[in-house]
Amino acid sequence: MTSAQTITTDVLVLGAGPTGLYGAYYAGFRGLSTVVVDALPQVGGQVMALYPEKQIRDVAGLPSIRGRDFVTALKQQADAFEPTYVLGRQAVALAHEDGQPVVTLDDDTVIRAGAVVITAGIGTPRARPLEAGHEWLGTGLSYFVVDPQAHRGQDVVVVGGGDSALDWADTLAPIARSVTLVHRRAAFRGHAATLARVRTSPSTMILTERQVTALEGDLASGRLEKVTVRHTSGKEQVLAADHVVAALGFISDIGPLRTWGLTLRGRSIEVDRAMRTSLPRVYAAGDIADFDGKVKLMSVGFGEVALAVNHVAVDLDPDLTLFPGHSTDEPGQRTPAEES
């Protein structure tokens, strides 16, 4: 998709995390065209950025599911209605023309929507930077792993001590030639069971009380060759490395949303019982939405975005009913009684 274009849609979903993906499905179920925008280069939000390999156990009907598989299933569900994804771009401005929202992205793309549903979670995540080797970002350095298979046969250095770092080290161990986990402290903050697996992996080396101080290689071709780490004592060590994953966590901020005229509660957007914000035809759902008694759970976000989309459908076509019927009522679906 090229930049500086204009897109028209019934619903614009801002945020491609679990709540946004379910919102895209639900909008499609209600017969609405949908565009999904996210600042990250992939769908899945925090799940994919922070814990794609962890088991999620608090979603109804799924006793346990890996984060990556959960996102895949949500996207497959949404894709049945062919939403348009605009990834790696941030919504920066909101205006209203003839009562309808018009959103401008950071590449000057303009999206004219019948309604906007904001599902931005805790805001736009910005990776905590690795002080050394910023010029390698996008080639020999990344802040999370998009595709583990891209690192098959590589020497990978993972930097960090939290769940993300441990997850990536654990995931890459059977794929990469070697994994070196570098942490500036002696103790890890991540899950004990994951740490235990990383410690016992024959292809993984753990270096604590150290920091990465330099990345070297052929920058012109993007080929990283070695990494220097420094112990707190000052002693340095050079490691062979094809890639560095700096899993140092993310800083989240709602960013440009603060300037849109929304009624805010801290870093959240105040909504009413229909998930409406203070702006016309702008809704919010999931962790970014707030109201008295709010509980921030994915299961709650799914209900909120379904509620928001149903109200959007009636906003766009007053002849529709708020209750959409059940998915089992779709053409081609038959109840057990009908089949007997």
77 annotated as ligand-binding: no
Residue 253, marked binder: no
Amino acid at the residue 154? Q
Tell me whether residue 290 is annotated as binding.
Answer: no
Nearest to 46 by CA among 26, 12, 18, 27: 18
Dihedral pair phi/psi, residue 133, rounded to 5°: 75, 30
Residue 174's CB is within 10 A of a number of other CB atoms, namely: 11
Question: Do 253 and 123 contact (CB within 8 A), yes or no?
Answer: yes
The answer to whether the beta carbons of residues 131 and 220 sit under 8 Å apart is no
Q: Does 22 show up as a binding residue in the annotation?
A: no
Q: Strand 84-87 relative to strand 34-38: parallel, antiparallel, unpaired?
A: parallel
Q: Tokens 């609405």 label which residue?
A: 32
Q: Is 9 annotated as belonging to a binding site? A: no
Structure tokens at 268: 């959240």
CB 41 within 8 A of CB 321: no
Spatial distance between the Cα atoms of 100 and 113, rounded to a whole number of angstroms? 7
Q: Is 287 annotated as a binding residue?
A: yes
Phi, psi (rounded to 5 degrees) for 150: -65, -15
Per the annotation, does 315 bind a ligand? no
Known binding residues for FAD are 19, 38, 46, 51, 91, 287, 328
Known binding residues are 19, 38, 46, 51, 91, 287, 328
